[in-house]
Amino acid sequence: MAVRWAYGLRLTLPIACGAARLSLPIYLVGSAISAISWSFIFTLLGWAFGRTTLIVLGHVRRYENYLVGAIVLGVGIVFWVMRKRHVEEEVVEVLSSGDRAEFPGPE
């Protein structure tokens, strides 16, 4: 029954059950109980927090344009920093290789 509830072990536990030679009917019943209980609990949690989420999102909508601008600006800054690092790494590679044909200097 722990297959559904064990975070990060959804693949490991069924393999362990197979390696332990757990009979198929017992595994199927345990897996069904686990799946039903997991879906029931998370459906209740989603229903309970749904109204709160709508209230929070209602407050966020006022600042939606500012948030979009901040996200776009943040992505642009990250792209610029990553591109700058990439260009610097290429320059270091060219200079360390000793090949001046690819990176001409002032003459």
DSSP class per residue in 57-74: HHHHGGGHHHHHHHHHHH
CA 100 from centre of chain: 43
- Identify the helix (H) or strand (E) that includes residue 20: none
Structure tokens at 100: 């001046």
Inter-residue contact 24 to 14 (CB < 8 Å)? no
Percent of the chain with pLDDT over 90: 25
Inter-residue contact 35 to 1 (CB < 8 Å)? no
Q: Is residue 39 part of a domain?
A: yes
Range of the domain at 16: 12-97
* Per-residue pLDDT at 99 exceeds 70: no
Structure-model confidence comparison of residues 80 and 2, the more confident one: 80
Total structural domains in the chain?
A: 1
Q: What is the pTM of this model?
A: 0.45
Rounded to an integer, the average pLDDT of 91-105 is 65
Q: Is residue 7 part of a domain?
A: no
pLDDT tens-digit profile of 11-47? 788 888 889 998 999 988 988 998 899 899 989 988 8
